Structures are given as C-alpha cells and as structure tokens.
Amino acid sequence: MIKLSSRLHGLEESVTLAITAKAKALKASGKDIIGFGAGEPDFDTPENIKNAAIKAIKDGQTKYTAVGGINELKDAIIAKLKRDNNLDYARDEVIVSCGGKHSIYNLFQAVLDTGDEIIIPSPYWVSYPVMASLAGATPVVVATTEKSGFKMTARDFASRITDRTKAVVINSPSNPTGAAYTAAELKGLAEVALKHHVLIISDEIYEKLTYGGFKSSSIASASYEVKGITVVLNGVSKAYSMTGWRIGYAAGPKEIIKAMSSIQSQSTSNPASISQWAAVEALNGPQNTVAAMAKEFEKRRDAMVKGLNAIKGVTAITPQGAFYVFANTSGVYGKKFKEKTIKGSVDLATYLLDEAGVAVVPGEPFGDDAYVRLSYATSLEQVNKGVKRIGEAIKRLE
C-alpha cells in the first residue's frame, strides 16, 4: 500500500455526494425519486451563450490562452463589477479560473500558511474548511443561528479574531442557508476586518439569485479601504446556469491575483478557451434570462417554505437568496421508524430517500446537524410533490 499524503488527514468523502450518488442509483433502477439535492440550476444555458461557444469553436479559439483568461473576458468581468457593484478593477486585478471553486482554492493556497486561522461562519459551504485545511490553515468556525437569520454579527466576528487570524469568508447569499447580508451588515463586518487587518474573502456566486426585492451588494463596495483588503469571488455557474462550463473569477489586490495566477500556471493553466468566450457573451449579452430564472426560483422558494412549515416537527425561515431552504428538522429527531431511531440529519436524509423517495442533503457536513438542505432547483410541481411526500413520511414516524 502506498502511504497517502499527510495533507489528506481529515479529508473525508463528501456525505453530500454519497447521498446524491445513492439517489442517482435509485433513480436509475426505476424508482420515482424527487431530487432536492441539486447544487445547480435546472435551467438550460441560454441560447445566446451556447451560440457564442459554437462560434468560438468555428473561429478556431481552441488553443491555450493567457493563464488568467483572455482580455475580452477580463474586460467583461471588469465591466460587470463596475455595472453591478460600482467597483473599479484593472486587468491585473482580475483572474479567470476553472470555476469559482478553483478561484477559491487558488486563493486559499496563495494566502494561507500553516498556523494561520481563517474565520468561517457556519452553516458553511462544505468546501471552505476543507480547502483551508489543505492549505495548512485552521478553520475557525463561528456558529450563526436561525434567530440571527444565519448571519454572523460584527461582534461575533470581532470576538473570534486572534493574532493568527488571516482571513474571513463571507458568502452572501449563502449556500446552504440562502441568508444574505444587507449593505449595512457588510459594512459592520468590513470595519472589524479593517481594524484587525483581516483579508475578506467574499464569495458572491449567488449574487443574482435574490428574492422579494432584496438586492445583493458586494462587501468590497463598502469603501476604497475595504476594497483593498477584499478578494471578490464570482462566476457564471449559478447566474447563467453554466455549471458544466467551469468559469469563475476573482478580483482583488494585484499581488494576490498574481500569486493565484502563478499557482494556476503550474497546475491547470487557462480555463477552457471555448467556455471563456461563452462567458464573455454571458456577461456582455442580454441579461433578461437571469431575471426570468430568479422569478421562477422565487415561486418555488415560497411554495417550499410554506409546505415545510406546515409539517409538524419542521420549520424553515424564508431565505433571501440562492436556491436552497435550510430547514430545521430537529423536531423530528428521536422519533422512530421500525425500531430505528432518527438520530440526526444523516439518518433523516437516509429515511426520506428510502421511504419517501425524496433526496435532501443532511445539514451535518454544512456544520449544523439540526437541519437539512433542500434545493428548489427543480420544477414547482416537483417541489410541491416532494414536500407533500416528506410530510407524509414524517407523519409515519413514531
């Protein structure tokens, strides 16, 4: 047996992926499974974007590009950051990567050292603590609660800062909770970061998917000083239903972007040339499909939240963004099905998959076992049907 790298210590196989795989297998075997596990929009990539990719192939845009992305895409990103966020960046302050996840990975590798601490509010996207550990740093998890809308307060943030704190991750709107910070809340957090020289890592991938009139803002736009200590992360995966194209980007201080580019140059090189041209069209082309998608998501969100709250033992607050509901299912824990006690979110997710044919994601890997995550990136009909099935299955518990 070859001994695996010690960096892998504690790196577990994702529970999310395990349940998704089981749901897929059940579906393939002919079972009627309703999927609330999806981490991607169910809409097709808009036609104009697909056509831009086809054109890129026909035009021969099929070779290596600059490591950090073609200038046309960098300029489209710069224009987007100006238009939507009132942020000014130059080309050497922007990098395009193979998905937003890749940008985050490179950023963690570029700025985190062994012994550094990185503050991560929970519930969190599963990859943040793992990527921090892979970079040798220690994730410092700051728990948030439903009562605070799953948002970290400036006071909580300040109380966890030590002389080892290097960075903080802010993900608004959030995966898995859908919580979104107001501009004033972001400003409060930014002031703490400024005071203690903490790098702000702002994951804004769900920026375009907000509801009920809520408008997402970038923490970097709080002030010129704040922008100087912030790296903004975004991408086309969620807003343009382009998860498979693998285009994400980061904007921030040029020394950091340069370091990320060096890492990228020695590992993946440039993101796919064809996808880059598609992303140029996504950012520069008509934006009406984004709004249409958000409108549809909002209807499903409302139906899901309403349905879940009607189930005894389940409560859910209304998320402002993304496409997830983080439902409190702790009222069901301790109940039994055929002598087997539902002890936590993993047991419940397994039970719902086996007995209701509904795939949900346990909250445990996101940092809070009292919850399960349900994605409404599926039709309104499926949302209603799935929630009904969950209700019936929970009723059967004793």
Ligand X SMILES: *Cc1c(COP(=O)(O)O)cnc(C)c1O
Q: Among 100, 123, 319, 367, which residue interacts with ligand X (rule: CB under 6 A)? A: 100
Report the candidate in 23, 41, 40 with the shortest Cα–Cα distance to residue 32. Answer: 23
Please give the residues from 204 up to 263 whose contact with ligand X meets the rule CB under 6 A: 205, 235, 237-238, 243, 248
Residue 243 CB, shortest distance to ligand X, in Å, is 5
Alpha helices for the chain (secondary structure H): 15-28, 47-58, 71-85, 100-111, 127-134, 154-159, 183-195, 224-228, 254-265, 273-284, 288-309, 345-351, 380-395
365 binds ligand X (CB under 6 A): no
CA angle 340-123-81, nearest 5°? 145
202 binds ligand X (CB under 6 A): no
End-to-end CA distance of the chain: 47
171 binds ligand X (CB under 6 A): yes
Please give the residues from 103 up to 162 whose contact with ligand X meets the rule CB under 6 A: 125
Report the candidate in 175, 119, 183, 195 with the shortest Cα–Cα distance to residue 152. Answer: 119
How far apart CA 179 and CA 172 sit, in angstroms, is: 7
Q: Among 42, 84, 117, 203, which residue interacts with ligand X (rule: CB under 6 A)? A: 203
Q: Which residue, judged by CB position, is nearest to ligand X in the bound state?
A: 99
Q: Which is nearer to ligand X, 100 or 149 (CB)?
A: 100
The b/e string for 266-290 (b: 16+ C-beta within 10 A; e otherwise) is eeeebbbbbbbbbbbbbbebebebb
Residue 256 CB, shortest distance to ligand X, in Å, is 18
Q: Which is nearer to ligand X, 157 or 240 (CB)?
A: 240
Residue 8 CB, shortest distance to ligand X, in Å, is 21
Q: Among 85, 106, 109, 175, which residue interacts with ligand X (rule: CB under 6 A)? A: 175
Residue 343 CB, shortest distance to ligand X, in Å, is 27
Report the candidate in 165, 169, 41, 179 with the shortest Cα–Cα distance to residue 105. Answer: 169
Q: Among 74, 80, 101, 151, which residue interacts with ligand X (rule: CB under 6 A)? A: 101
Site residues for ligand X per CB under 6 A: 99-101, 125, 171, 175, 203, 205, 235, 237-238, 243, 248
